[in-house]
Amino acid sequence: MQNKVLMILCDGMRPDAVVKCGHPFAGKLMSTACYNPHAQTVFPSYTLPCHMSLFHSRTPDEHGVKTNVFVPGERKGLFEQLKDNGKSTAFFYSWGELKDLYSPYALCYGRFISETFLPSETVTEFLEEDCEKFLNEYNPDFAFLYLETTDSVGHTNGWGSDEYYKAANHSFMLIEKIMSNIPKDYSVIVLADHGGHDFTHGSNDPIDMTIPLFVKTDREIDFAEFENANIIDIAPTVCDIIGVPSSKEWKGKSLLK
């Protein structure tokens, strides 16, 4: 049984990018995994509030982070819940603000590469390689891989531009690579934090609020819950797959039966 989880987040990837990026693995994943093209994120649909809701299973009104500036507070997130239940975690990312998603004691391994001096695609390739190697060598219970390129290109060239769909294609190339080369005891969750329009995001318009969600697992999915999935449901789902209880303060629900 798969009792470990790899979560891959493509920053700013809209559901239409899954189809229009043209990568064969995107189509394969739509047919072989549970796929919801109209999952919802939280408002305001900025990167840090969405990630805080993803890992803390609470809305921005509840966890208090409503912009891309971190607001300190007493919160128990996914990393802390897993650590307190004896599970190992790893985190691979390129946007420095995400460091506030976890308490230092809760993370077993972290890998940060800044995009300041390297192209975004190069950074994501390095992170994928590092994550793939770490999962094969150390088999942590949970790993998070952050792919930033779709968001970076969205802000520079526009959501829905040719460059944006090329960035999504590159992301699925990396997703295929890592999913093809990690141990079989991993369930894989692929999602976005928010969508986007023109050169920005953050509104409550459906184009900003709707995200793609894939769950590939040998565990039984509750399709009624999955059809109405929200980003706050992911942390409880991860805990359910791994076999630890959710935090009592979380507001989301597991998507498993």
Residue range(s) defining the domain that contains residue 172: 4-242
DSSP symbol at 11: T
Q: Looking at the domain assignment, is residue 219 inside a domain?
A: yes
Q: Looking at the domain assignment, is residue 256 inside a domain?
A: no
DSSP symbol at 21: T
Q: Looking at the domain assignment, is residue 252 inside a domain?
A: no
Q: How far apart are CA 42 and CA 223, in angstroms?
A: 21
How many separate domains does the chain show? 1
pLDDT tens across the length of the chain (257 residues): 899 999 999 999 999 999 999 999 999 999 999 999 999 999 999 999 999 999 999 999 999 999 999 998 889 999 999 999 999 999 999 999 999 999 989 999 999 999 988 999 999 999 999 999 999 999 999 999 999 999 999 999 999 999 999 999 999 999 999 999 999 999 999 999 999 999 999 999 999 999 999 999 999 999 999 999 999 999 999 999 999 999 999 999 999 99
Only one residue has tokens 């090329």, namely 166
Confidence (pLDDT) at 1: 84
Q: Are 148 and 98 in contact (CB under 8 A)?
A: no
Q: Looking at the domain assignment, is residue 29 inside a domain?
A: yes
DSSP symbol at 99: G
Q: Looking at the domain assignment, is residue 251 inside a domain?
A: no
Confidence (pLDDT) at 242: 98
Q: How far apart are CA 241 and CA 229, in angstroms?
A: 16
Helix axes 120-138, 149-157, angle to 10 degrees: 170
Confidence (pLDDT) at 233: 98
Sequence-separated (6 or more) residues with CB below 8 Å from residue 18: 26, 30, 37, 168, 172, 212
What is the domain-level CATH number for residue 205? 3.40.720.10
Q: Looking at the domain assignment, is residue 37 inside a domain?
A: yes
Q: Looking at the domain assignment, is residue 75 inside a domain?
A: yes
CA distances from 67 to 47, 49, 115, 197, 231 (A): 8, 6, 21, 18, 17
For CA atoms 176, 182, 188, 189, the dihedral sign is negative
Which residues are registered as beta bridge partners of 90?
A: 109, 143
| Tokens read off for 29 | 């994943």
Q: Looking at the domain assignment, is residue 250 inside a domain?
A: no
Beta-carbon neighbour count of residue 139 at 10 Å?
Answer: 14
User: Number of helices and strands (H, E) in the chain?
Assistant: 11, 7
Q: Are 30 and 18 in contact (CB under 8 A)?
A: yes
